[in-house]
Amino acid sequence: MRGRGRAGLMPAEWEEHKAIWLSWPHDAVSFAGALAQVERTYVRIISEIHKTEIVNLFVPDSAMREHALALLKKGGVDLSRVRVRVQDYADVWIRDYGPTFVRRSDGALAMVRWDFNAWGGKYKELLKDGRIFDHVEQEMGIPCKRPGMVLEGGAFDVNGRGALLTTEQCLLNKNRNPGLGRADIEAKLREFLGAEKILWLKEGVAGDDTDGHIDDVARFVAPSACVCAVEDDSSDENYGPLKENFESLCRMSDQEGRPLEVLRLPMPEPLIGPAGRLPASYANFYIGNGVVLAPVFGCRRDEDALRVIERAFAGRRIAPIPCRELLYGLGTIHCASQQQPSASTSGRPAHPPWRAPS
Active site residue ranges: 335
Query: CA-to-CA distance for 230 and 239, rounded, in angstroms?
Result: 7
Total residue length of the chain: 358
List Cα–Cα distances, 336 to 20, 24, 254, 318, in angstroms. Answer: 10, 9, 28, 18
Of 212, 196, 339, nearest in space to 283 by CA: 212
Angle at Cα 289 formed by Cα 283 and Cα 293, nearest 5°? 30
Of 281, 279, 277, 284, nearest in space to 267 by CA: 281
The Cα diameter of the chain in Å comes to 53
Q: What is the distance of C-alpha 53 from the center of its chain?
A: 17
Of 313, 287, 286, 289, nearest in space to 52 by CA: 289
Query: CA-to-CA distance for 214 and 124, rounded, in angstroms?
Result: 23
Asked whether 87 and 179 are in contact (CB, 8 A), the reply is: no
**How many helices, marked H, and strands, marked E, lie in the chain?**
9, 18
Cα dihedral 334, 48, 280, 323, rounded to 10, equals -130
At residue 128, what is the residue type?
K
Asked whether 175 and 120 are in contact (CB, 8 A), the reply is: yes
